[in-house]
Amino acid sequence: MDTDTTAETHTASRTVGIGGRLVNLVSYALFGIGVYALYAFFAPFIGTPTLGVVSALPAIAAPTESDAIINVTPLIVGVVASAVAVRIR
């Protein structure tokens, strides 16, 4: 007697497909924001220009080893946005 059962082939419905695409879109958007924010943080150190969108964010100052004060808001935004993008994927 054969007791093994086979599962029926699963087909994704239209709503699951749209939801999956929406998750992908949000994930890629967050990852893009994260990459841009990290670039905006490191741009002054490597001497490249950055767009002015980051100046709209509130500044969070942090001291460095040389006692200089830098704005770490883009770094925090970049790390959090990238972590959320990876988490929802």
Give residue-wise pLDDT tens across range 33-86.
999 999 999 988 888 887 777 778 888 888 888 888 888 999 999 999 999 999
Whether residue 2 is predicted with pLDDT greater than 70 in this model: the reply is no
Structure tokens at 26: 């949000």
Whether residue 15 is predicted with pLDDT greater than 60 in this model: the reply is no
pTM of the model: 0.71
Q: For position 76, what pLDDT does the model report?
A: 92
CA distances from 70 to 42, 50, 60 (A): 11, 16, 8
First and final CA of the chain: distance in angstroms?
Answer: 43
CB neighbours of residue 79 within 10 Å: 15
Q: For position 71, what pLDDT does the model report?
A: 87
